[in-house]
Structure 1
């Protein structure tokens, strides 16, 4: 018949296992979310940069041939992501829709100019590169003006640099916390077996022999926690992909697989290292220090 003490020990052991698995799951889930944010942060930043339009206005003397040649030239330019030709008639209609009245009725003519809205590739939406692009385009004598939001370009690049720095700091901090949390849970789990460890050591068992079952058990718990974290991460990815398809978070399946494998590997590695040092601590304690 199982004694009440044995039942208590079993419940405490199960509770200890559960706390380890929960710690591993929560920490690895947060690290996985952070990992996906990091690998997609550049894509998100690039998408935002490429939405900033550079508008090139042409003189009224520029005929259709000149405009068509400029459009053909843009297709071959390395800096051009996409472009849209906006005739002055189209521009007038857009202005009329915005302000709610036809301004040409009292002006008597259309003062607007034919233009191209050019969306640059993300690598060119930085201060030095975009200035070079502007200088290159202004060499065309038929271009009257080039307009884009210079302050927005500078603001975007400055904020991206700041965000990238903070992401690295937060990543390092979370990794440190992850090791501490998992290590604490494993040490508490092993603490309940300190007398067994010392008894085995007193009857002549080697340190590696004593350590092996604890390490293997912790690795299994780490694998379970990592597996649960991976399942939760896949669920989050599918949810984001379904509800926010424009983000294309699952477009690069190789990077997604790498992050998931890293989550699994970190779970195994941290539990192995933490258990190794935790058991080593109790193996080196004197018998009097166990109490």
Structure 2
């Protein structure tokens, strides 16, 4: 019977420790992911802006020499990230729905030659992109310049709003993290409340009683933080693989600060929560333990 009871108690303790580590791991991973997003906001914003195309359509009388010269001009332009020439034939292949409306009506391809231009992120601003549009329209061979004005405004406004709300969510999540981790640690220490009170009754000081529990909390916090850091490092590796242009590891100092913050926060919150959870049972009367 004693052996079975000891096994039950051991499983119960292990289960409570597992719950604490899992809670710390989940919370720290969420906080760390938000932190990584915040420090890379400029890169993410730049990446989004540089995916917005500006299409330059030529007049029907523009020949190959004109379009080639225009491409050379784009190559030497400080505001161009990349560009692609789209011939009228390629335009017809890329827009079959448009061409269907002209079947049997026109013998020739009505689509003009064009360039798809992707601007550097610094120039994807309302005023800057307007100046670039006017500059391109000055070319007599250019028939039209088209880009999504609303998308440009959204890209600039929403990134700032998202960053602002992420900071708020991070703050709220940090408070929730403290409450959840504190609650999980209190539950794990609850099963030791009689041991704590017995040690106190035989003359052990509060600091002596608290010490092993605080160290246990620090170890659990460390385990949860290390697991979280492992997941976050894999997340960074995956993002860099899927979106090489972001190159998050390039700013490894900032990434290291976030990961170090995750480690420090996990240890600190576990130590503080364990301290107060143990202190609570030390301050209770014996009758209140039941």
Q: Equivalents in 2 of 1:51, 1:237: separation in Å? A: 21
Instruction: Report the CA distance between 1:72 and its aligned residue.
Output: 2.9
SS in structure 1 of the partner of residue 214 of structure 2: helix
Moved more, 149-158 or 250-259: 250-259
Structure 2: tracts of 5 or more residues without a match:
none
User: For 1:246, which of 235, 239, 242 is the aligned residue?
Assistant: 242
Q: What is the CA distance between 1:162 and its match in structure 2?
A: 4.0
Deviations 1:203-256 (A, max 9, x none): 544433322211111111122223333444556666x56xx9433499423265
Asked if residue 117 in structure 1 is aligned to residue 116 in structure 2, the reply is yes
- What secondary structure does 1:77 align onto? coil
Distance across 2 between alignment mates of 1:98 and 1:111: 10
Q: How many residue pairs end up in the alignment?
A: 287
Structure 1 window deviating more from structure 2 (70-79 vs 178-187): it is 70-79
Q: Distance in 1 between matches of 2:217 and 2:38?
A: 29
Q: Offset of 1:11 from its aligned partner?
A: 3.7
Q: 1:20 aligns to what?
A: 20
| 273 and 76 in structure 1: CA distance in 2 versus 1, 3 angstrom threshold | farther
Measure the CA separation in 1 of the matches of 2:113 and 2:185: 70
Aligned CA distance change for structure 1 residues 5 and 115 (closer, same or farther; 3 Å): closer
State the match for 1:153 in structure 2: 152
- Structure 1 unmatched ranges of 5 or more: none
1:186 Cα deviation after fit:
0.8
- Aligned mates of 1:148, 1:249 — CA distance in 2: 23
Question: Structure 2 length as normaliser, TM-score?
Answer: 0.77
* Distance in 2 separating the partners of 1:87 and 1:15: 66
Query: Could you give the per-residue CA deviations for residues 93-127 of structure 1, whole angstroms, max 9, x where no partner exists?
Result: 65579625986x85466655443221112232232
Matches of 1:107 and 1:99, distance apart in 2: 10
User: Which deviations, in whole Å up to 9, do the C-alpha atoms of 1:15-46 show, x marking residues without a partner?
Assistant: 32222122222323333444455556654554
1:17–1:249 CA distance, 2 compared to 1 (3 A): farther
Aligned partners of 1:245, 1:101: CA distance in 2, in Å? Answer: 41
Q: CA deviation at 1:81?
A: 0.8
Distance 1:60 1:176, change over 3 A: same
How high is the TM-score relative to the length of structure 1?
Answer: 0.76
Whether the 8 Å CA contact 2:56–2:145 is kept in 1: the answer is: yes
Deviation, 1:6, is 4.6
The alignment yields a C-alpha RMSD, in angstroms, of: 3.7
Say whether the 8 Å CA contact 2:236–2:248 is kept in structure 1: no
Counterpart contact for 1:24–1:225, Cα < 8 Å: yes
Q: Structure 2: how far apart are the matches of 1:129 and 1:115?
A: 21
Q: In the alignment, what sits opposite 2:77?
A: 77
Write the distance in 2 (CA, Å) between the matches of 1:174 and 1:249. 30
Q: CA deviation at 1:167?
A: 2.9
Counterparts of residues 193-232 of structure 1 (less than 5 Å)? 193-232=192-231
CA distance in 2, matches of 1:110, 1:160: 40
